């Protein structure tokens, strides 16, 4: 029975994707705006999460009315992202340059010349799914770490879309050996690292002024392999997607692995925080980024700042 349900869900999802591919771009985008506004009105749970997160992150920087406007636009942007993802199969290799513009090729080429691989620090900012076009834009394969979906039909379909553009998915289950090998072979690896991490995988950093359990993977593998960590961001202007590779992060190395992981992870997220502040409507506010469940042990924590200074707390 579960197999049948999974297959039906897959058929529905694929049908929705085909529906949005058939529609003209402007009509599809308009439906996305409508769905986003509708979701904001009806999805009480995630609306509350978004508003609480915005209050936590920005305090009194914005009024309640402004926070609600940001949250509503955030829902609209997420719905538009969904529409774009549905339409991604319609993007053709020979017309890619008209739809997606890439900026910042120099730091990527410099990192590849070093021969120690690249870790792309990715976030749920803008439309992150458009990042699947990176291999074609850079003419290099990209390996992305991801958790397999519970629905195998959906998983194969979505993986197929990503692989069409040259993205190979590395399962997050037991990914360590694969990542070490890929980076030592001077490959490019993309990691979405901005959401709340499980406590056993997390280090605690400051994010918008509050402790946040955060994935340590990018910093750990950069320290272990010497790979460059390059932040990549996405912005949309009209019908054109702009993907930007920023200069590689400076990596702090003191010989104290735990400390260095926290310091560098803090640096990565300081950059992300600044990017989010440019346009708060573009980030994924609808998840509990700062929530910690009771009963977990406190992890090693260093009060680190982006310059790498260290102040241990008892």
Instruction: Estimate to the nearest angstrom the gap between the alpha carbon of 80 and the chain centroid.
Output: 16
CB contact at 8 A, 196 and 213 = yes
Predicted pLDDT at 94: 63
- pLDDT at residue 175 is higher than 70: yes
pLDDT in tens, 45-73: 999 999 999 999 999 999 999 999 999 99
pTM, two decimals, is: 0.87
pLDDT band for position 128 (cuts 50, 70, 90): confident
Report the chain's mean pLDDT, rounded to a whole number. 88
Inter-residue long-range contacts of 180-186, CB under 8 Å, 24+ positions, other chains counted: 180/221, 180/224, 180/225, 182/117, 182/143, 183/116, 183/117, 183/119, 183/221, 183/225, 183/227, 184/116, 184/117, 184/225, 185/117, 186/112, 186/115, 186/116, 186/117
Tell me whether strands 210-215 and 310-312 are parallel, antiparallel or unpaired: unpaired
Predicted pLDDT at 116: 96
pLDDT band for position 164 (cuts 50, 70, 90): confident
- pLDDT at residue 8 is higher than 50: yes
Distance CA 144, CA 258 (A): 25
Tokens of 199: 């406590």
**pLDDT: is 171 or 223 the higher one?**
223
Predicted pLDDT at 236: 81
Q: Which class for 165: exposed (0-12), middle (13-18), buried (19 or more C-beta within 10 A)? A: buried
Predicted pLDDT at 93: 64
pLDDT in tens, 202-236: 999 999 999 999 999 999 999 999 999 999 999 88
**Domain range summary for the chain, segments of one domain joined by +:** 94-312
- pLDDT at residue 11 is higher than 90: yes
Distance CA 133, CA 80 (A): 18
Percentage of the chain modeled with pLDDT above 90? 65
CA dihedral 312, 306, 176, 115 (to 10 degrees): -130
Tokens of 167: 């993205």
Mean pLDDT of the 106-110 span: 96
Mean pLDDT of the 6-16 span: 92
Q: In the beta sheet, which residues pair with residue 202?
A: 215
pLDDT band for position 31 (cuts 50, 70, 90): very high
pLDDT band for position 309 (cuts 50, 70, 90): very low
Among the four given CATH numbers 3.30.1560, 3.40.50, 3.40.1130, 2.60.40, the one describing domain 94-312: 3.40.1130
Nearest to 190 by CA among 130, 125, 120: 120
Phi, psi for residue 20 in degrees, rounded to 5: -70, -25
Predicted pLDDT at 291: 64
Mean pLDDT of the 66-93 span: 90
Phi, psi for residue 309 in degrees, rounded to 5: -75, 150
């Amino acid at each position: 029975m579960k197999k049948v349900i999974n297959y039906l869900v897959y058929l529905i999802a694929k049908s929705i994707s085909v529906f949005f591919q058939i529609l003209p771009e402007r009509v599809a985008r308009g439906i996305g705006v409508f769905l986003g506004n509708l979701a904001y009105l009806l999805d009480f749970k995630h609306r509350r999460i978004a508003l609480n997160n915005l209050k936590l992150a920005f305090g009194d920087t914005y009024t309640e009315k402004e926070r609600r406007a940001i949250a509503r636009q955030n829902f609209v942007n997420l719905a538009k992202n969904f529409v774009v993802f549905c339409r991604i199969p319609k993007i053709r290799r020979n017309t890619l340059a008209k739809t997606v513009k890439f900026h910042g090729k120099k730091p990527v080429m410099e990192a590849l010349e070093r021969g120690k691989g690249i870790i792309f620090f990715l976030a749920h900012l803008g439309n992150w799914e458009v990042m699947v076009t990176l291999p074609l834009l850079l003419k290099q394969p990209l390996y992305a770490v991801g958790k397999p979906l519970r629905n195998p039909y959906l998983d194969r379909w979505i993986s197929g879309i990503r692989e069409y553009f040259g993205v190979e998915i590395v399962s997050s289950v037991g990914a360590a050996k694969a990542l070490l090998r890929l980076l030592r072979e001077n490959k490019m690896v993309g990691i979405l690292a901005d959401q709340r991490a499980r406590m056993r995988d997390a280090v605690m950093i400051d994010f918008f002024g509050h402790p946040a359990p955060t994935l340590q993977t990018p910093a750990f593998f950069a320290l272990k392999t010497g790979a460059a960590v390059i932040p990549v961001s996405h912005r949309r202007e009209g019908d054109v997607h702009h993907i930007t590779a920023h200069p590689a992060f400076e990596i702090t190395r003191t010989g104290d692995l735990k400390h260095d992981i926290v310091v560098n992870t803090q640096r990565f997220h300081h950059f992300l925080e600044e990017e989010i502040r440019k346009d708060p409507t573009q980030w994924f506010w609808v998840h509990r980024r700062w929530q910690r469940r009771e009963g977990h042990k406190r992890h090693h924590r260093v009060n680190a700042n982006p310059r790498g200074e260290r102040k241990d707390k008892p």
